[in-house]
Structures are given as structure tokens and as C-alpha cells.
Structure 1
Amino acid sequence: MALRQPLAFNDRLIAIGASTGGTEAIREVLAGLPAGLPGIVIAQHMPERFTRSFAERLDRTCALVVKEAVHGERILPGHAYVAPGHSHLAVIRSGGHYLAEVSGSAPVNRHRPSVDVLFQAVARVAGRNAVGVLLTGMGKDGAAGLLEMRRAGAFTIAQDEASCVVYGMPREAAEIGAACEVLDLRAIPARIVGELRQTVR
């Protein structure tokens, strides 16, 4: 699945959020993506002692470079950054590049990392140049953030009920109109690539 190169990588950004069942769902999405993509930022509800090993496992099985996010580092094409457990991951823009912002501020929706924190930041800094994906998980974290992304012009995807371990977060997103499309997990990687092949929205 080759990706053509008409994209301004510094302008595009992919954001993924998940909770219960998300480790395997994220693995499946990343495994289906080619290396030559814009930077990917990920918020998965997970204790801090597990996020680094999770990122390392993904790195061994994916074409992308996957690592735990470090505060202030530049978000590079071909790389995916996992929010450290017990820390929020947001994105800021500086000098034409995206940078990771890792913080220990208060939990949001009872979670840290919170998917809403990540998605809302991406909506602010990337707007229509972003793709947002909300995967399996309990509760509603990420639904409001995905809606903000869609309202900012981003292309947004929610995982469908049949392929979810827990159809909570994606259902909330679908019910409030946050998702441009609701898709089976297996269809999501190709859809991300298809969207990125199009002109900037």
C-alpha cells in the first residue's frame, strides 16, 4: 500500500484514541499503515508502567517508527507517538512544525491520558489537515474531541460496533455526529491512506 507524495507532511497529522480493547485495535490500525505517512499521535488509556513497552512492541511489528512521546519533541512523518501513561498528550505548533506537549495536569473524563485532550489540541493546531480516529473503549472520552476535530474540518472516523471490544466511546461519537464515517476496524487503515491521498480538505 504505497502512498503518493503530494502531501505537505508538516501540515498533516493523524490522531488516534482508544481505551478498552484499544491496544489490539491500535496494533491492527498501525500494522495496516505504510511508513510514509504524516506523524501520528495516540492516546490509549493505560497505566504508565505499560505505555513504553506497548510502544516498543508496536515499533517491532509496524512499518512506522513507534515510541512513547517525550515533551517538546518534534512530531515527524513516519513516526507514531504514544501518550505516556498517567500523562496527557497534546500538540502545539512551533516554527512550522508540530511538537508533543506532555503534561501531568488534572484528569479529563477521569482519564490521564485523555483522548479529548489530544483531539481538542489537534483540532486547534491542525484543523482540516488532520485525520481523527476513535477506537473501541468504555465511556465517552474522545467523542467531544472528535466532534471538535470534525467541526474544524478534519476527516473523522469511529470504529463500528461489530468490531469493537466495547462500543462505548465510538458510539458516543457517532451519536453526536462526530464521525464522518463509522467503519469496521479492518477498513480503517486503508481509509486513512485514501483520505491522505486526496488534496488537503
Structure 2
Amino acid sequence: MPGHAYIAPGDRHMELARSGANYQIKIHDGPAVNRHRPSVDVLFHSVAKQAGRNAVGVILTGMGNDGAAGMLAMRQAGAWTLAQNEASCVVFGMPREAINMGGVCEVVDLSQVSQQMLAKISAGQAIRI
């Protein structure tokens, strides 16, 4: 639903699915990915598959590499992807991995993330899920 933010519940994966022309959020108990459940990679891979170029992906501060492969899949599917810059991160691990894999279109300060997302959505370059 436009205007909402969804957060995966603890110990459950969250994925984007389609039902005709509509998008849905699916929650499931699949195996851990990158030692995590929920895993960012699970979500991002589903967004790449279901929304492709109609999506915006953002990866923020965090430890490890969860989300990097999924973000690369999103970018390869035509999505616009964004990572938080090192200067504004508490832990630069997840953004660094996504950048190093080539999955990031743009790197910005945390204070600019929402503005950049809204600009892409307002320009019609991404869906609002």
C-alpha cells in the first residue's frame, strides 16, 4: 500500500509478490540466508524478480554482506539502487559490500536518502509498494 513502510517480523523472511497488477508482501519461515532470518537478500531478490526497473533499493548501515547480492540483482533488473555513505554509517559493512559488488547506482549521506528516494518515486522512475 502506498504511504506505508513494512518491517519484516523477527525470524521470518519478507518477500514481494505479485497478484495480477498488484503487489503483495509475503512472510514465510524459509531457511536462514547469510546466517539471517529475515534476510535482506531474500527481500531484494524478490523485488528484482517482481518489480525490476520499477523499484528503488536502499541499503543502510549494518554489519556483514546481507543484501549485497540482492541489491546487485535489483540493479541488474533495472532498479535504481542507493547506499548510505561511509561517513554517515555506524558500521559500513553492508553498504560497502553492495558497492564493491557493483550493485549500487548512487552513494549518499544518510541525511539525503529520503530526498533521493522521493525524487525517484516522484519522477515516476520507481513504484511505491
Fold match by TM threshold 0.5: yes
> How big is the shift at 1:187?
0.6
Larger Cα Rg: Structure 1 or Structure 2?
Answer: 1
Q: Does 1:183 align with 2:108?
A: yes
Structure 1: segments with no counterpart, 5+ residues: 1-75
Residues 176-198 of structure 1: per-residue CA shift (max 9 Å, x gap): 11100011100110001111122
Partners in 1 of 2:94 and 2:32 — Cα distance? 17
> How big is the shift at 1:199?
3.6
Structure 2: segments with no counterpart, 5+ residues: none
1:24-63 map, 5 Å: none
Aligned residue identity for 1:150: R
Residues 131-173 of structure 1: per-residue CA shift (max 9 Å, x gap): 0000000000000000000000000001111111100000001
**Equivalent position of 1:84 in the other structure:** 9
Aligned with 2:56 (options 103, 109, 131): 131
Partners in 2 of 1:90 and 1:158 — Cα distance? 20
| CA-based RMSD | 1.0
Partners in 1 of 2:118 and 2:17 — Cα distance? 24
Q: Normalising by structure 2, what TM-score?
A: 0.95
**Equivalent position of 1:19 in the other structure:** none
Aligned residue identity for 1:106: P
| Secondary structure of residue in 1 paired with 2:14 | strand
1:137-152 map, 5 Å: 137-152=62-77
In the alignment of these two chains, the number of paired residues is 126
> How big is the shift at 1:114?
0.1
**Equivalent position of 1:112 in the other structure:** 37
Q: Normalising by structure 1, what TM-score?
A: 0.61
Partners in 2 of 1:83 and 1:165 — Cα distance? 22
Aligned residue identity for 2:74: M
Tell me the percent identity. 57
Partners in 2 of 1:199 and 1:126 — Cα distance? 14
